Amino acid sequence: MNSVTTPHAFAWTYNENDQEFSLQGSLRPQRPDELNGCISELEQSVRNVSGKFYVNVRRLVRMNNVAFQTFACKILDLVRGRSDLNVHVTTSSVVGWATRKFAVLEAMSERITVSEYDSEFYPGQTFLEEGGFIPILRTQTKLTWRHEKSILARHGLEPDMQVADICCGIGDFAVLLQKEYQPSRLVALDHSRSSLEYARKVASDFGVRGIDYVFGDASDMLLESDQFDFVTCRHSLQVFDRPELILQELFRICKPGGRVYITNEKNSHCLGEPRSETIQKTYTEVARLWAHFNMDIEFGPKSRRHLVDTGLEDIRMESFMVTNLDGNPQDFADIIQSWEDVYAGQMAVERGDSEDEIREFRRGFQDHIFAALHPKGYAGWPIWVASGRKPK
């Protein structure tokens, strides 16, 4: 994600995961050329996009006619000059003028759509059983991709490889892989039909082709052996009670000489300042909570041992820290809030925690959010990356 703040009272960001260019603040230039930097970034952002491109103005509180005319003309130029492009403008129901202004563009081109923001913004969201979690999953990928984009190359991923993304979930990582590395073949497998349906919808909307979405059980896949140069499985081994079964399958479908790439967490190493003590206490408790349900959120550093036990060699391992400084701190805070809702919500209740225990449990999450949003604060979420080569 690229983010730019101007000396004036507005800023813009581009999120390649969502193919979305966002404006926020107060846009009141006296001359169109005051927006040259922003318009140039908009042109750069859309250059590698096909299908649907989102322009999000729901966080604009003011926009004068100079700014509106400049952006309206640019949006019209984009769709008139690119037959493969559709532009969707997202306005705010709270700022009524935004919808009235941009709605005129719909009448000028059938490839421009305008809608007011609501919780159904993402297409196909209702397909998922846990639909409310989709924005959080996408935010997580957005924050981790800025690190993994280069890490993947260090672990051997190259263009034109045959790649499998196992436990692909809602498919946003596969879309980013397809765009960045352009594999000759990309299979994305998951056990959730609704997740796959959502993934297909997003890929179609974004004009991304070449991803073969497959329904299947990661521990007993119908994919043939020795097919893929690079096999990924992210944040999934920690969820299953028998990760060795999935690792055996990742090993089986990988070509001799190919690599298996996994990412996992160690939640007890989440950190934040200020209020570090309560944060540490809560995430240590998260590890105990997951263990109660036969899952291992501490799997990350154990990755090397598991890859070796599976028969992989030339193990490469590293870790990175997702922080509140990776773009908008509110994105980080939103992820932590979702963790609190799940861990200190249904999971803690099902474990039999008392109200006092849950109240204490929640405190660390809220302090983690406080650290993320504090102007001098620092909040981190560590992730471990490991890969191994299948012997020839």
pLDDT at residue number 130: 47
pLDDT at residue number 128: 41
pLDDT tens per residue across all 392 residues of the chain: 555 555 557 889 898 888 999 998 888 899 999 999 999 999 999 988 889 999 998 888 788 889 999 999 999 999 999 999 999 998 876 666 788 889 899 989 999 999 877 534 333 333 344 445 677 788 889 899 999 999 999 999 999 999 999 999 999 999 999 999 999 999 999 988 888 999 999 899 888 999 999 998 898 898 999 999 999 999 999 988 889 999 999 999 999 999 999 999 999 999 999 999 999 999 999 999 999 988 999 999 999 999 999 999 999 999 999 999 998 899 999 999 989 988 999 889 989 999 999 999 999 999 999 999 999 999 999 999 999 999 99
Distance in angstroms between the alpha carbons of the first and the last residue of the chain = 38
* b/e per residue 333-343 (b: at least 16 CB within 10 A): bbbbbbbbbeb
pLDDT at residue number 179: 92
pLDDT at residue number 119: 38
CA 25/CA 8 separation, integer angstroms: 9
pLDDT at residue number 240: 86
Burial class (CB in 10 A: 0-12, 13-18, 19+), 375: exposed
